[in-house]
Amino acid sequence: AQKITQTQPGMFVQEKEAVTLDCTYDTSDQSYGLFWYKQPSSGEMIFLIYQGSYDEQNATEGRYSLNFQKARKSANLVISASQLGDSAMYFCAMREGLSGANNLFFGTGTRLTVIP
């Protein structure tokens, strides 16, 4: 079974609007971390936001927020006030367990296009 599922291959959003990128995960661990990364066309992976399985508050980082619904095993990324520079691939990832040395499992990504 896929550990991370991103069901939206592509999304379009109007500039200055908000957009939600979906992510669901599958794990039997009680302790895990969820990450979102942005990958522009140049290829680098840029860390955006983190949510821990025990965090009661939804994570926020500037225009990024994570809508964490533990019972549904979803960790959707919300980007507010979209900018043209937000156009990129976005990957949801999960790390199981408590060790920061553990690997990240990535979803298949969502390509976001911001329309002027």
Partner 1 sequence: GAVVSQHPSWVICKSGTSVKIECRSLDFQATTMFWYRQFPKQSLMLMATSNEGSKATYEQGVEKDKFLINHASLTLSTLTVTSAHPEDSSFYICSARGGAATANNSPLHFGNGTRLTVT
52 touches partner 1 by CB under 8 A? yes
Minimum distance between the CB of residue 44 and partner 1, rounded to whole angstroms?
A: 4
Q: Is 106 helix (H, G, I), strand (E, B) or coil?
A: strand
- Give yes or no for a contact between 15 and 84, defined as CB atoms under 8 angstroms apart: yes
Minimum distance between the CB of residue 98 and partner 1, rounded to whole angstroms?
A: 5
45: its two tokens: 């992976």
- Give yes or no for a contact between 94 and 37, defined as CB atoms under 8 angstroms apart: no
64 touches partner 1 by CB under 8 A? no
Q: Strand pairing of 64-69 and 74-79? A: antiparallel
Binding mask 11-50 for partner 1 (x = CB under 8 A): --------------------xxx-x-x----xxxx-x--x
| Three-point CA angle 51, 56, 58, nearest 5° | 50
Minimum distance between the CB of residue 68 and partner 1, rounded to whole angstroms?
A: 13
60 touches partner 1 by CB under 8 A? no
Minimum distance between the CB of residue 56 and partner 1, rounded to whole angstroms?
A: 15
